[in-house]
A and B are shown apart, each in its own frame.
Chain A
Amino acid sequence: MYYLSFLFLREAKRIMKIDNALVERLAELSKLEFETEEKERIKTDLQNIFNLVEKLNEVNVDGVEPLIYMSEERNVLRKDVVQGEVPKVEALLNAPQKDSDYFKVPKVIKK
């Protein structure tokens, strides 16, 4: 839901209208599918989120830089050293479909 809200907030700026088309577009981008009654519920949720965020528009943010990072940390860098790999068997352990070497996924057309 967090992700969907995020997408929505981005789209909302451009679209503003919470209709089935918007829900379907968001669902497509998130690879989700909704039944008709779920769509209605989601529309309500989105409307609530939208209203909440609309409140932010009431605040004057002239001259305020967007806050992206919650910490003041800068230059958190790693040395170029190989470490932290997991064995192949473990890497494949949680995969729904696999063979002894690869993850198996539904046939996809080459990008």
Chain B
Amino acid sequence: MSNDKYSKYEVIVGLEVHAQLSSNSKMYCGDSAEYGAAPNTQVSPLSLGHPGTLPVVNEKAIEYAVKIGLATKSEIREENQFARKNYFYADLPKGYQITQDKTPICTNGVVEFELENELKRVRLTRIHLEEDAGKSIHDIDPYFTLVDLNRAGVPLIEIVSEPDIRSGDEAMAYLNEVRKLVRHLEICDGNMEEGSMRCDANVSVRLKGTTAYNPRSEVKNMNSMRNVKRAIEFEFIRQIDALEAGEKLVQETRGFDAIKGITLSQRSKEHAHDYRYFPEPDLPPVIVTQQYIESIKAEMPKLPAELKYEYINKFGLPEYDARLISDDKATSNYYNAIVENTQNYKAASNWLLGPIKNHLNASGKDINEFELKPKAVVALIALIDEGKTNFSVASANIFPALLLSPEKTPFEIAQALNLIQNSDEDLIGGFVQQVLAAMPEKVAEYKAGKKGLLGLFVGEVMKLSKGKADPKVVNKLIAEALS
């Protein structure tokens, strides 16, 4: 039984997430930090590593780091120092990265998330501020590596977890939660494919029931959450195979090959990096006062867990709806804007997760690009609640027409399309009599107990009314007529 050898082991994973902060300018100088510009157009003497330049900390980066610290219940350090991490590489013109070594701005935080209905807690060792390196391009020129320094100096936070993760799925769920947090805080766009959120995984295995750690591999190059999971699962098998074959594992850096789904050792000839950290003398310490923390706390947006709780307990939404809406910042903003002006919280959720989501999916749009203002959705809900139309007509006819003429109100659209439904009991009552009189044998069957025929009667009445009768009134009048 070859499977048994794997089930004896457990995988131990700690993740290091680098998140690019969505500030306008860089960490220590005023170059634009925007993504996607033409190469080497967002550079300055400082990011180019010219002598005689002096870094100055971007206050936005401090604010963002405090926000993620509060969101992860971290301790926030009062006196923050910066340090030089020295290494020699062409994408780092200064010859050192300015980071935080001994004084990370946040320590002892926690990220909590649900996985298969269980609450998981992953402790955070630290979160610190640093700067990104430039971009090396190896595949354009056959003889040279090309360097673009636009990214050199873009602010990053590095979020380091404790080795609390026990599976590839847990790693994905953790990353998803971190992504939700940074997006809700609007401090990073969380895009792993574009590299604004990157992840390295420290992976080791050990026999279940033991507590000592084996040497770990540090896996890099995973540009999606799914690849993080794949890499962890590959390492689990590889490391156990090696141990069971009597090999000795070594601590090493491995790169993930997404095409083959494997990791490969990246043993470099430079033996054991020595980063020679020392305090950055060019940056005086940054003092984060309690008063400052309180001011940030006051402007913190609600986080997904809090929003979800509110949706369930204040608005009475089902857990499923509450989770879907609270997961995404823009979606929850939109929802909040609707329910500011309607009490029909469930209808707002139905519209958002039904017709609106379908439309956005079909047209490849983000909720931020949605044609309709929340007010239009409020008006749609009101139109139904007032009995002037019903959900099926509103979502199938009024909503698509409204998308084409967003400047009109739903009522105007409904009128123009002749869709205002009739709740006139006299008129509908006439239709009901007409339908029942036309099919006496069905009426008899119904009265004999074939209750499923109700739908047929309703359908016939709706046909006579050209779809404009209020289904609630129709149902009520038929039930009365047949009783």
Asked if B136 and A110 make an inter-chain contact with CB atoms under 8 angstroms apart, the answer reads yes
Asked if A77 and B56 make an inter-chain contact with CB atoms under 8 angstroms apart, the answer reads yes
A74 to chain B, nearest CB (A): 5
Tell me the complex Cα distance, A99–B141, Å: 10
- Listed stretches B7-15, B57-65, B156-164, B393-401; interface member: B57-65
Residues on A with C-beta less than 8 A from B32 are 82, 85
Residue of A31, A69, A109 contacting most chain B CB atoms (<10 Å): A69
Known: A74-B287, A80-B60, A82-B30. A103 touches B90 (CB 8 A): yes
Q: Which of B45, B58, B136 contacts A86 (CB 8 A)?
A: B45
- Listed stretches B104-112, B276-284, B367-375; interface member: B276-284
Asked if A108 and B23 make an inter-chain contact with CB atoms under 8 angstroms apart, the answer reads no
Asked if A7 and B31 make an inter-chain contact with CB atoms under 8 angstroms apart, the answer reads no
Q: A66-110 toward B: CB 8 Å interface, digit per residue (1/0)? A: 001111011111111111111110011000010101111111111
Asked if B40 and A92 make an inter-chain contact with CB atoms under 8 angstroms apart, the answer reads yes
Tell me the complex Cα distance, A102–B134, Å: 11
A28-68 interface (Cβ within 8 A of B): 28-29, 31, 68
Asked if B31 and A102 make an inter-chain contact with CB atoms under 8 angstroms apart, the answer reads no
Known: A84-B29, A85-B31, A85-B42. A107 touches B59 (CB 8 A): no
Tell me the complex Cα distance, A5–B81, Å: 23
Asked if B81 and A68 make an inter-chain contact with CB atoms under 8 angstroms apart, the answer reads yes
Q: Which of A6, A29, A92, A111 contacts B274 (CB 8 A)?
A: A29
A13 part of interface (Cβ distance < 8 Å):
no
Q: Which of A7, A68, A101 contacts B276 (CB 8 A)?
A: A7
Residues on B with C-beta less than 8 A from A10 are 276, 278
Residues on A with C-beta less than 8 A from B23 are 80
Select from chain A the residue with minimum beta-carbon distance to B269: A109
B364 to chain A, nearest CB (A): 31
Select from chain A the residue with minimum beta-carbon distance to B21: A80
Tell me the complex Cα distance, A79–B59, Å: 6
Known: A80-B24, A84-B44, A85-B30. A104 touches B145 (CB 8 A): yes
Tell me the complex Cα distance, A31–B149, Å: 21
Residues on A with C-beta less than 8 A from B144 are 97, 104-107
Residue of A31, A74, A102, A104 contacting most chain B CB atoms (<10 Å): A102
B43 part of interface (Cβ distance < 8 Å):
yes
Q: Which of A6, A75, A83, A108 contacts B89 (CB 8 A)?
A: A108
Known: A29-B276, A110-B138. A88 touches B41 (CB 8 A): yes
Interface of B is mostly: loop
Q: Which of A28, A70, A84 contacts B30 (CB 8 A)?
A: A84
B185 part of interface (Cβ distance < 8 Å):
no
Residues on A with C-beta less than 8 A from B59 are 77-80
Tell me the complex Cα distance, A65–B16, Å: 32
Q: Which of B58, B255, B284 contacts A80 (CB 8 A)?
A: B58
Asked if A76 and B284 make an inter-chain contact with CB atoms under 8 angstroms apart, the answer reads yes
Select from chain A the residue with minimum beta-carbon distance to B86: A29
Q: How many residues of B contact A (CB 8 A)?
A: 53
Select from chain B the residue with minimum beta-carbon distance to A29: B274
Q: Which of B38, B285, B286 contacts A101 (CB 8 A)?
A: B38
Residues on A with C-beta less than 8 A from B62 are 77
Select from chain B the residue with minimum beta-carbon distance to A102: B146
Known: A103-B90, A108-B90. A74 touches B145 (CB 8 A): no
Tell me the complex Cα distance, A7–B276, Å: 8
Asked if B56 and A76 make an inter-chain contact with CB atoms under 8 angstroms apart, the answer reads yes
Tell me the complex Cα distance, A85–B29, Å: 9
B482 part of interface (Cβ distance < 8 Å):
no
Asked if A75 and B287 make an inter-chain contact with CB atoms under 8 angstroms apart, the answer reads yes
Residues on B with C-beta less than 8 A from A108 are 89-90, 136, 138, 145
Q: Which of A83, A85, A107 contacts B145 (CB 8 A)?
A: A107
A66 to chain B, nearest CB (A): 9
B249 part of interface (Cβ distance < 8 Å):
no
B137 part of interface (Cβ distance < 8 Å):
yes
Besides A84-B30, A101-B40, A105-B136, 11 other CB < 8 A contacts? A31-B88, A74-B285, A77-B57, A80-B23, A80-B25, A81-B25, A84-B31, A99-B146, A101-B38, A104-B147, A108-B90
